[in-house]
Amino acid sequence: MTAPLRIALAGLGTVGAGVVRLLAENHALVTARAGRPIEVVAVSARNRTKDRGVDLSAFAWEDDMTALATRDDVDVVVELVGGSDGPALTLARTALAGGKQLVTANKAMIAHHGMELAALAEQHGAALKYEAAVAGGIPVIKGLGEGAAANRIDRVFGILNGTCNYILSQMESTGADFGVVLKAAQDLGYAEADPAFDIEGVDAAHKLAILAALAFGTAVDFAALDISGITRIRAADIAQADALGHKIRLVGQAELQADGRLFQRVAPVLVAKSHPLASVDGPTNAVVAEGNHVGRLLFVGRGAGDGPTASAVVADLIDIARGNATPAFGVPVGMLSAAAPADAGHRKARAYMRFVVADRPGVLAEITAAMRDAGVSIESLIQQGRAEEGGPESESVLVAIVSHEGPESAVSAALQLLEGSPSISEPPLVMRLIG
């Protein structure tokens, strides 16, 4: 048996403890598949004495996690701390600069600093692996970076945040309140340390930016992403979507357009119930990629939680133990091309627009006039009755409009015409339909 692969774990939370558990439970098969044992040598986290339900007694403890990266008895640093900057980034830079391999579940760090870290890895002959960072347990980084490597991929989209998908599908099936379901997602270990990253769409955007780079061979461009989350979705929107034969899902979409520009957006959309993404419930994620020879690929599985995420982390470790050397983004960093961001205005879609309006005559006429003037053709219009009877908005009603397919710029123009209208009490919620 060859020498063990010696690893250090930074972070012993949901994912870190999950990795310790998996390595203990599946020791024999992981050793067989890796060709050598994978041994935890040292660990670090905030609190040394906390009971995490796993036995850490055989591992050295470092109070300063960066010290893990300079230990002579460590081959691979596994970063499971989180945060785009701060100690996680310092650890990653120190490890790679010292020629140690790095495995991370940290999508925020890869979305913001992935190119720098990949360059550092190349320079020092180290591996940078991040399967757990995108869609948790789904082997989508391996699937696109290796399995589909022979294809030109122009489009990738999917459900990339387990917390949001759990919230939306629970609200849909149980009618539960947003806040209650978010708390449950946190208790189940799905949410980020700051759940605003989940519900505001940022976490899905981190993952989409990484997927786009890997799929298209373009430089990671998180700053260019158009991001909206799910915080404004009400039970009434879910009911309306249902009546229209759709479900609401937070979907990330990236496309390398024919003009060479890169479209990247994370937003809640109405998905037709017949669409494969509509049946993706709970913390499940799904990624669709279209290759020019393989056709449409669909990856589905658990996107969050200790077991699925640990599964992806350990898969990366097995890869390293086997000596697989794949560039972090499929090609050397210097070959990743810069793509200008797309202007979404010309993109065509049906749109769901929901207004909260004052309950008085003439309001509907004002909205429909703006649609007419901006060239938005209305397919259906539903006045949904009083918003929260007796609540602070009891004088308002919800109005939902679905447009025929048309350019996004026309919808934006209609909403601009309505801006500042005293009849409309909050900014309209717009969601595109995908079918």
Ligand X SMILES: NC(=O)c1ccc[n+]([C@@H]2O[C@H](COP(=O)([O-])OP(=O)(O)OC[C@H]3O[C@@H](n4cnc5c(N)ncnc54)[C@H](O)[C@@H]3O)[C@@H](O)[C@H]2O)c1
303 touches ligand HSE by CB under 6 A:
yes
Decide which of Na ion, ligand X, ligand HSE, none touches 65; Cβ closer than 5 to 8 Å per partner kind: ligand X
Distance of CA 278 to the CA centre of its chain: 17
Contact residue for ligand HSE among 161, 170, 284, 384 (CB under 6 A): 161
Distance separating alpha carbons of residues 336 and 329, to the nearest angstrom: 8
CA-based end-to-end distance of the chain: 53
229 touches ligand HSE by CB under 6 A:
no
**What is the H or E stretch that residue 432 is in?**
strand 424-434
| Range 23-62, binding ligand X (CB under 6 A) | 45-46
CA atoms within 13 A on the CB side of 141: 31
- How many residues touch ligand HSE under the rule CB under 6 A: the total is 11
Was 14 annotated as part of a binding site? yes
Q: Minimum Å distance from CB 371 to ligand X?
A: 41
Q: Minimum Å distance from CB 14 to ligand HSE?
A: 9
137 touches ligand X by CB under 6 A:
no
Neighbours of 241 (CB within 10 A): 27
The smaller minimum CB distance to ligand X, of residues 107 and 155, is found at 107
Was 11 annotated as part of a binding site? yes
User: What radius of gyration, in Å, describes the C-alpha atoms of the chain?
Assistant: 24
Q: Minimum Å distance from CB 304 to ligand HSE?
A: 4
- CB of 13 closer than 8 Å to CB of 304: no
Decide which of ligand X, Na ion, ligand HSE, none touches 161; Cβ closer than 5 to 8 Å per partner kind: ligand HSE
Residue 89 amino acid letter: L
Candidate list 100, 129, 142, 207, residue with the active-site label: 207
- Based on the residue annotation, tell me whether 207 is a catalytic residue of this protein: yes
Was 13 annotated as part of a binding site? yes
- CB of 87 closer than 8 Å to CB of 80: no
Neighbours of 84 (CB within 10 A): 17
Supply 186's token pair: 């946190």
Q: Minimum Å distance from CB 45 to ligand X?
A: 4
- CB of 4 closer than 8 Å to CB of 37: yes
The smaller minimum CB distance to ligand HSE, of residues 37 and 189, is found at 189
Distance separating alpha carbons of residues 66 and 97, to the nearest angstrom: 12
Nearest to 123 by CA among 387, 328, 347, 368: 328
273 by DSSP, 3-state: which?
Answer: coil
Decide which of ligand HSE, Na ion, ligand X, none touches 189; Cβ closer than 5 to 8 Å per partner kind: ligand X
Contact residue for ligand X among 13, 147, 217, 307 (CB under 6 A): 13
The smaller minimum CB distance to ligand HSE, of residues 138 and 342, is found at 138
304 touches ligand X by CB under 6 A:
yes
Contact residue for ligand HSE among 198, 200, 221, 306 (CB under 6 A): 198
Distance separating alpha carbons of residues 132 and 138, to the nearest angstrom: 8
Q: Minimum Å distance from CB 143 to Na ion?
A: 9
CA atoms within 13 A on the CB side of 29: 6
- CB of 433 closer than 8 Å to CB of 350: yes
The smaller minimum CB distance to ligand HSE, of residues 59 and 222, is found at 222
Q: Which stretch binds ligand HSE (CB under 6 A): 31-39, 149-157, 187-195, 373-381?
A: 187-195
Distance separating alpha carbons of residues 79 and 89, to the nearest angstrom: 9
Contact residues toward ligand X (CB under 6 A) are 11-16, 45-46, 65, 80-82, 87, 105-107, 132-133, 136, 189-190, 192-193, 304-305, 309
| Residues assigned a catalytic role | 207
Contact residues toward ligand HSE (CB under 6 A) are 136, 161-163, 190-192, 198, 203, 303-304
